[in-house]
Amino acid sequence: MHIESIASSGGAPLSTAVNAEAWPHRANILGVGVSALNMGSALGTFDRWIASGARHYVCVADVHSIMQGQWRAGQRDILNKAGMVTPDGMPLVWLCRAEFGASVNRVYGPDLLMAVCEHSIGRGYKHFFYGGGEGVAEKLGEILQRSFPGLEVCGSYCPPFRPLSVEEEDEVAARINAADPHFIWVGLSTPKQEQWMARMRDRLNAPALIGIGAAFDFHSGAKPQAPLFVQRSGLEWLFRLVTEPRRLWPRYRKVIPGFIGRIILQKTGLVRFDLN
């Protein structure tokens, strides 16, 4: 299918079901509109948002993210209202390519962070880091400034491991807005980071809120990252399972069979997954 087409197999017309303003070309994967793009088109989109004063949030989606949209009330709606839902996992890349062709490539959270930082040099884009364990966001900012001389990091905040009160969220919003970033990088677990971005989007002035989860830990050195050949093979989940079996085995034993089963149902037309 040509990239200008609307991917609506198993769903309603895209323009009436998801946030098509920012990135209209999306593949319907279990009722989630995953953006058919690559790193270059993602960077160009961010430039347009900043130039036009648009404000969106970005969900970096893997199989786990898609399945959260199946199991949690309202989560699929949060994903579909995002300005961009990048194909972070290789299964999503393959499914997008089946709809839109080889121009779709993986837009992986850790790589997206590095690409945007490099892209920011000379453009004056400023970055704020929200999330991670104690001191992780601050350390990440320092590491990125060493990696990209001239990168403007305007602040960081590590939230407590509990829900913030309305007053605390107001204080956080004021603190971030005072720093005046172009990009707010959110390093919470899925689905917390997507829920936070959707809840805070209208209260924050930054053009782009981007949820990148484990990228905070990978680039700060808190956790090991899979080798590149493992990432490209689609087996990164296995590498992460080996490194964090207690935390990830309960997730993967439910997510992977559930995803495969539902994709078969969608592709055979036995079950319809609407984009609304």
pLDDT band at 17 (very low <50, low <70, confident <90, very high): low
pLDDT attached to residue 196:
95
Q: Is the pLDDT of residue 72 over 60?
A: yes
pLDDT attached to residue 15:
37
- Beta carbons within 8 Å of 194's beta carbon, 6+ residues apart: 57, 59, 65, 68, 75, 78, 79, 82, 211
Number of helical (H) and strand (E) elements in the chain, helices listed first: 13, 8
Residues 130-156 pLDDT 10s: 998 888 889 999 999 999 999 999 999
**Domain range summary for the chain, segments of one domain joined by +:** 14-119+164-217, 228-266
pLDDT attached to residue 177:
98
pLDDT attached to residue 12:
35
DSSP state of 216: H
pTM: 0.86
pLDDT attached to residue 8:
35
- Beta carbons within 8 Å of 40's beta carbon, 6+ residues apart: none
Residues 22-66 pLDDT 10s: 666 899 999 999 999 999 999 999 999 999 999 999 999 999 999
Residues 206-265 pLDDT 10s: 999 999 987 776 666 566 666 666 666 777 767 777 777 787 777 778 999 999 999 999
pLDDT attached to residue 258:
95
pLDDT attached to residue 4:
31
pLDDT attached to residue 164:
85
Q: Facing residues of 33 across strands?
A: 28
pLDDT attached to residue 14:
38
pLDDT attached to residue 256:
92
> Among 66, 83, 64, which residue's Cα sits nearest to residue 20?
83
Q: At what angle do helices 109-120 and 136-147 cross, to 10 degrees?
A: 50
> Among 185, 116, 108, 109, which residue's Cα sits nearest to residue 148?
116
Residues 153-207 pLDDT 10s: 999 999 887 888 888 999 999 999 999 999 999 998 889 999 999 999 999 999 9
d(CA 121, CA 12): 41
